[in-house]
Structure 1
């Protein structure tokens, strides 16, 4: 009897981040695809944006999708359209109710998001994203590195969608969630993860690749066993 074929794997990076956030996973899982973030159209909502993403990825069959941070939210919305075998959330949330209180409070500030001086903030993040920052503030440094390399326009659009997120996606597959207990962006106390990484911050795909890769492999194994 032939061994079951390993499913395809698609992971979305965090808030306007690039594929580098999954560098350790790309080594461990040769089948991994990390889509680039398409440039949002002027009138794009999260739903219309995910419609286009799903259309671009529809050729992938027998697939597990997931994402880190905002990428996990996108993965849940895309899952409604692609019907994957499973969804993996990495330092993300399942519903708007799991967002921290500060994010829910900041919904009132959504209209001013386009006015954020993205390039200036990226410049200010450079010290925190440096080797010095990694040593003295490793949890914040990961966030700073992710923000420093982002497209400011895409970042502001993503932030606006996050602040306006109100509907929990209904998916017809298992959802697996791994989270760091030192996540400052999406604190673990508001979430219900299946696995907790001790000492893990918000960018656990980079800072704790062994644990994240093991979790992904366990999801693949469970999914293949069910097929």
Structure 2
């Protein structure tokens, strides 16, 4: 039985993993904490390590949670890191996000606007069903604005070049937020979008189980 520590997506919580089966392992869902003023991503990751109570754990990160898992893996010895719909280094962050970060263009968009669910957010996340639209709406409504603004800034300005020695990357071919052409994934989920932990959970459960074991 492995010790899993799971990082959810940007501003999200463990609800995005509702359909994934972690029952065969000791699983801890990491809680986001409030970032301090101008806190670096490295220092933030260091603070989250207080929630990791096992030696040589397996870290699993979704989207922004994957970026944080990578940073945590640089601080503590981890058996394995598994990324879902995420990026393992700065080269996998799309150039247009990096350009926006360089010019601080992302700071021109009101955070309240990014919290609103609409046809555009549903399109980006690849969501079609009413049930999944309702779940995303709930998650966005519950997202802390300060954390959201901070996390977006850290994503578009991420400088990491290090790749963990034992890292598995799972990515959807239809991801519109982190398009697959920018990443080098180990496993591709056909037609999987950025919300594939919900709408591609059956296939993802199999892939994730194999990634944990092998």
TM-score (ref. length: structure 1): 0.81
- Report whether the alignment pairs 1:214 with 2:206: yes
Aligned CA distance change for structure 1 residues 157 and 189 (closer, same or farther; 3 Å):
same
2:4 is paired with a residue of what secondary structure? strand
Q: How does 1:54-203 map to 2 (within 5 A)?
A: 54-57=49-52, 59-110=53-104, 113=107, 116-123=109-116, 125=117, 134-135=127-128, 146-171=139-164, 173-203=165-195
* Aligned pairs, number: 211
CA contact 1:143–1:202 (8 Å) conserved in 2: no
- Find the structure with the greater CA-based Rg: 1
Shift of 1:30: 5.4
Shift of 1:209: 0.9
Q: Which stretches in structure 2 are left out of the alignment for 5+ residues? A: none
**Structure 1 counterpart of 2:33:** 38
Shift of 1:31: 2.4
Normalized per residue, which structure has more helix? 1
**Structure 2 counterpart of 1:15:** 10
Provide the rounded CA distance (Å) in 1 between the counterparts of 2:182 and 2:131: 22
1:11 is paired with a residue of what secondary structure? strand
